[in-house]
A = this chain, B = another copy of it.
Amino acid sequence: MTQISEAQRRRQSSFGFLMQLLARRIDQDMKLRLAEIGIDVKVFSNLMLLSEKDGITQRELGRLLEFPEYFTSRTVDVLVEKGFAERRPDPDSRRSILVYLTPKGRKKAKELPGIISQVNLSYLKPLELEERTQLIKLLHKVADIDQDGDPAL
């Protein structure tokens, strides 16, 4: 058994520390998996959201994903370059732009849930089914997204 200090125990039990550590691991995994299908993490997020709901403004897209505005702007550039999305003028306002998935983008988006499930499952493996539900519920409560649902495995 390795000797661990009180300080180490404290750090390793810090909510922030655990979140950062795990998020980095997940991000790394996703990066590898997504590279196989030729996209990166930021394209992935936007593709997922747009497949739920497109025809929204860039601002709305960024707001829903909690990404800064300049970031969304450039990500949409990439989506358009890759032929996954297109910008259309907003009939209600000439200063805003609506983002729509193209058929190609929609097709690509269909590949994503499988990857997500696999990655999620690989992380949740050490937990019992009940614990997984509990964990998602607690994270939800912390994130303050006001709805509940079963974990997406």
Q: A interface, by DSSP: helix, strand, loop or mixed?
A: helix
User: A139 — which chain B residues lie within 8 A by C-beta?
Assistant: 15, 18-19, 22, 135
Contact with B along A15-39 (1 / 0, CB 8 A): 1111111111111001000000000
Other-chain residue from B4, B11, B134, B140 in contact with A134 (beta carbon distance below 8 A): B134
A142 touches B22 (CB 8 A): yes
Contact A134 B123, CB 8 Å, known A12-B147, A19-B22, A151-B15: no
Contact A14 B116, CB 8 Å, known A8-B52, A23-B20: yes
A5 touches B53 (CB 8 A): yes
In the complex, A31 Cα to B24 Cα: how many Å?
16
In the complex, A127 Cα to B135 Cα: how many Å?
12
B16 touches A19 (CB 8 A): no
B123 touches A142 (CB 8 A): yes
Interface bracket on A: 35 or more
In the complex, A32 Cα to B42 Cα: how many Å?
23
User: A19 — which chain B residues lie within 8 A by C-beta?
Assistant: 19, 22-23, 26, 139
User: A15 — which chain B residues lie within 8 A by C-beta?
Assistant: 120, 123-124, 132, 135-136, 139, 151-152
8 contacts between A and B (CB under 8 A): A13-B136, A17-B116, A19-B22, A19-B23, A20-B23, A22-B139, A23-B23, A126-B144
